[in-house]
């Protein structure tokens, strides 16, 4: 049998000097006795996995409205895919796979209903009240809004996990727990999650764009990265005909091409990052690496350009396609209407949000409530209260 101490010792022996080690964690906001079997980051991962915010990801829009079809990605599936990639990349780079997994599973918890449209609506509504960003909302969830089995507010995650979740700058006045800086450089594990997030959403949005029939393989073949992925897929037996033999939905080439794309990008991320580690061998610990992280984790120049071009194509022709945006924009209107409804009488908020009004103000409490909702729940609530 292996206990926590054994796992911690193994990390100290096997992980790279720049990797975060559980035994050296800066700890939690509220001190807790360590677990007998799991390291602190394994415990963080489990707390995230068992949180209600995590389960709600299954009914939150990624790009296509949740409920568009059983095979399209929801945020839950996306988070699981990012976590698998981040774990594999971390293992290859001798970074901490448990920290990467915890961060990946939590990275999208703060997304409101209706994807980016929902985020834009809340940003506009919260202007002048500290603003809204999904990464800031993750911290509100894990530090304040979620409850854990033993009681207490927040999941009480480790400092390193929280710093990795903070990532981009937040609007001035966005309320974070007092021990967090307004901006911090993530550990390398956090940067790996960020890079895997991009690989996951680009490749899977490409898959969903083709599967939905909104775009076709021909729309991507002038992009060298996609042409190369199709070529690679051909080596494993995919049809070389751009459209395959059937509909986009049934095209076996599509699956192989997307899988080849993920492999190309993930391999490039690992190889380029490993090369950067070699030339930065003077870095002795994760804190030093954190300050240099931008330079250390990333893709080759060729792949970075390919990623940019693919994002541009998807952004122009898929994310912004009227068939995608229109139904989401129409549904997202309920965010504005419910916001006004609760602003007129904040006492109608559920007790768990109402009791924070003195501390956070009514606007923040309404925003927390709305941001946590799934696409389904907000629709039902609107039917009940907006008559
Ligand atoms: Mg994501």
Q: What is the pLDDT of residues 286-310, one digit of tens each?
A: 999 998 878 899 999 999 999 999 9
18, part of any domain: yes
Same domain, 335 and 312: no
pLDDT level of residue 69 (50, 70, 90 thresholds): low
**How remote is the CA of residue 78 from the centroid of ligand 1, in Å?**
7
What's the rounded Cα separation, in Å, for the pair 268 and 303?
A: 7
Same domain, 203 and 162: no
**How remote is the CA of residue 109 from the centroid of ligand 1, in Å?**
9
**How remote is the CA of residue 75 from the centroid of ligand 1, in Å?**
7
Q: Phi, psi at residue 307, to the nearest 5°?
A: -65, -45
Same domain, 29 and 142: yes
Same domain, 345 and 364: yes
Same domain, 19 and 137: yes
Same domain, 318 and 338: no
Q: What is the pLDDT of residues 358-374, one digit of tens each?
A: 999 999 999 999 999 99
Same domain, 295 and 378: no
Closest to 195 measured CA to CA, from 275, 103, 291: 103
* Position 275 pLDDT exceeds 60: yes
* Position 166 pLDDT exceeds 50: yes
Number of structural domains the chain divides into: 3
What's the rounded Cα separation, in Å, for the pair 348 and 352?
A: 11
Q: Look over the chain and give the mean of its residue pLDDT values, rounded to a whole number.
A: 90
Same domain, 288 and 270: yes
**How remote is the CA of residue 299 from the centroid of ligand 1, in Å?**
18
171, part of any domain: no
Position 212 scores a pLDDT of 85
Position 250 scores a pLDDT of 53
**How remote is the CA of residue 206 from the centroid of ligand 1, in Å?**
15
**How remote is the CA of residue 312 from the centroid of ligand 1, in Å?**
17
Position 323 scores a pLDDT of 85
**How remote is the CA of residue 153 from the centroid of ligand 1, in Å?**
25
pTM value?
0.93
**How remote is the CA of residue 344 from the centroid of ligand 1, in Å?**
34
**How remote is the CA of residue 80 from the centroid of ligand 1, in Å?**
10
Domain carrying residue 221: 188-324
pLDDT level of residue 64 (50, 70, 90 thresholds): low
Same domain, 101 and 86: yes
Domain boundary among 324, 343, 367: 324
* Position 27 pLDDT exceeds 50: yes
174, part of any domain: no
What's the rounded Cα separation, in Å, for the pair 72 and 101?
A: 23
Q: What is the pLDDT of residues 218-262, one digit of tens each?
A: 999 999 999 999 998 887 665 544 444 444 445 677 888 999 999
- Between 73 and 305, the more confident residue is 305
**How remote is the CA of residue 301 from the centroid of ligand 1, in Å?**
23
Which CB contacts under 8 angstroms, 24+ apart, belong to 225-228? Answer: 225/261, 225/264, 225/303, 225/306, 225/307, 225/309, 225/310, 226/257, 226/261, 226/310, 228/264
**How remote is the CA of residue 197 from the centroid of ligand 1, in Å?**
5
Same domain, 19 and 158: yes
Domain boundary among 287, 305, 324: 324
172, part of any domain: no
363, part of any domain: yes
Beta bridge mates, 28: 158
What's the rounded Cα separation, in Å, for the pair 224 and 240?
A: 15
* Position 68 pLDDT exceeds 70: no
340, part of any domain: yes
Please, which residues have CB within 8 angstroms of residue 355's CB and are 6 or more apart in sequence? none
Same domain, 337 and 314: no
**How remote is the CA of residue 359 from the centroid of ligand 1, in Å?**
30
Q: What is the pLDDT of residues 76-120, one digit of tens each?
A: 999 999 999 999 999 999 999 999 999 999 999 999 999 889 999
182, part of any domain: no
Q: What is the pLDDT of residues 182-202, one digit of tens each?
A: 888 999 999 999 999 999 999
Domain boundary among 166, 198, 214: 166
**How remote is the CA of residue 28 from the centroid of ligand 1, in Å?**
25
**How remote is the CA of residue 104 from the centroid of ligand 1, in Å?**
8
* Position 334 pLDDT exceeds 90: yes
Same domain, 159 and 197: no
**How remote is the CA of residue 201 from the centroid of ligand 1, in Å?**
7
Please say whether the beta carbons of 201 and 160 come within 8 A: no
Position 23 scores a pLDDT of 98
| CATH number, domain containing residue 210 | 1.10.3210.10
Position 291 scores a pLDDT of 87
Position 187 scores a pLDDT of 96
- Between 152 and 298, the more confident residue is 298
Position 255 scores a pLDDT of 85
254, part of any domain: yes
**How remote is the CA of residue 105 from the centroid of ligand 1, in Å?**
9
């Amino acid at each position: 049998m292996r206990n926590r101490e054994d796992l911690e010792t193994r990390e100290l022996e096997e992980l790279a000097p720049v990797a975060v080690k559980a035994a050296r964690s800066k700890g939690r906001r509220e001190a807790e006795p360590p677990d007998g079997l799991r390291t602190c980051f394994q415990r963080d991962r489990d707390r995230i996995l068992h949180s209600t915010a995590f389960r709600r990801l299954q009914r939150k829009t990624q790009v296509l409205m949740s409920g568009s079809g059983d095979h399209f990605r929801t945020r839950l599936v996306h988070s699981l895919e990012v976590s698998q990639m981040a774990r594999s990349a971390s293992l290859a780079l001798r970074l901490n796979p448990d920290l990467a997994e915890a961060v990946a599973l939590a990275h999208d918890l703060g997304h409101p209903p209706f994807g980016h449209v929902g985020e834009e609506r809340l940003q506009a509504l919260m202007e002048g009240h500290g603003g809204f960003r999904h990464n800031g909302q993750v911290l509100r969830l894990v530090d304040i809004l979620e409850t854990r089995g033993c009681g207490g507010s927040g999941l009480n995650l480790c400092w390193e996990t929280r710093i990795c979740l903070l990532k981009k700058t937040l609007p001035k006045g966005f309320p974070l727990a007092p021990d967090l800086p307004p901006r911090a450089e993530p550990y390398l594990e956090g940067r790996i999650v960020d890079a895997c997030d991009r690989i996951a959403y680009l490749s899977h949005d490409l898959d969903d764009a083709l599967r939905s029939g909104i775009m076709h393989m021909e729309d991507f073949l002038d992009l060298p990265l996609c042409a190369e992925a199709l070529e690679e897929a051909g080596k494993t037996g995919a049809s070389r005909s751009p459209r395959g033999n059937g509909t986009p939905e049934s095209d076996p080439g599509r699956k192989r091409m997307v899988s080849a794309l993920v492999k190309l990008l993930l391999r490039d991320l690992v190889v380029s990052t490993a090369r950067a580690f070699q030339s930065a061998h003077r870095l002795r610990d994760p804190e030093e690496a954190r300050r240099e992280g931008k330079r250390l984790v990333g893709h080759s120049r060729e792949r970075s350009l390919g990623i940019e071009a693919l994002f541009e194509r998807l952004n122009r022709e898929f994310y912004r396609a009227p068939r995608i945006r229109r139904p989401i924009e129409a549904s997202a209107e309920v965010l504005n209407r419910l916001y006004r409804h609760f602003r007129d009488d904040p006492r109608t908020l559920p007790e768990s949000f109402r009791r924070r009004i003195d501390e956070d103000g009514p606007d923040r409490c309404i925003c927390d409530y709305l941001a946590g909702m799934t696409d389904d729940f907000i629709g039902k609530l609107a039917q009940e209260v907006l008559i």
